[in-house]
Amino acid sequence: MSSGGTKPQETVGDAVARGVEARRGRASAWAEAMRELGAVDRAVYEAVARTPTPDLDDPARRLSESANYSRLWLAIAAAIALLGGAHGRRAAMEGVVSIAVTSATVNLGVKSLHRRRRPDRVESDGSPNRHVPMPASTSFPSGHAASAFAFAYAVGRHIPALAVPIRLLAAGVAYSRVHTGVHYPGDVWSAPSSGPERRLWSRLSVIASGPLRPGMRRVPSLQ
């Protein structure tokens, strides 16, 4: 993180504030609120980075790495497809397609529009053992978190008993990206907060995964 006379790195709140200022002027109360959210975002990141957590560092790093290339979610999808019968295969297929659609949307679309740099974790280096390699892509939004919550949402619609456990695991992956120093909190909480986007990604995955086979039940409406 920046210190002294160096300009602080921009968070999602700062980016939104700039957009509001361009439309309503710098005196806008909304712009000021977004700048304050940006300051909170940086403060939370620094607090996590500077807090010694030796018992959490290794599990958080391993969880973060397990979600690289969606390996964690693909493994869960394989288990669901293997053990869940026809209904499980449908849930697994929709979950995997949701990951693909979400990953493409985030990495090829949203990230190219928001060129926010990754956090500078050098000056907030409380425990380097927790770190994973810093990705070369831009920071907002977190692709790991977006894919995690998309998968959890898609599978949870089909198998309600798994909805809470998988969403908790998705939340753990999202937090691990902050704990390992590669994302601001705002980069990861934005992933599950957008209900309309989740519904769009899930609807696209339903279309892409094909019609229901005999014996499979239709999931509830996404409205």
- Over pLDDT 90: what percentage of the chain? 39
pLDDT of residue 40: 87
Q: How far apart are CA 195 and CA 34, in angstroms?
A: 21
* Location of structure tokens 């019609």: 211
Q: pTM score, two decimals?
A: 0.76
pLDDT(213) > 60: no
Q: What are 27-63's pLDDT values in tens digits?
A: 677 777 777 888 888 889 989 988 889 899 999 999 9
Phi and psi torsions of 108, nearest 5°: -95, -20
- CATH number for 54-208: choose from 1.10.10.10, 3.30.70.580, 3.30.70.100, 1.10.606.20: 1.10.606.20
pLDDT of residue 95: 94
Other C-beta atoms lying within 10 Å of the C-beta of residue 134: 14
Closest of 139, 147, 142, 135 to residue 114, by C-alpha: 139
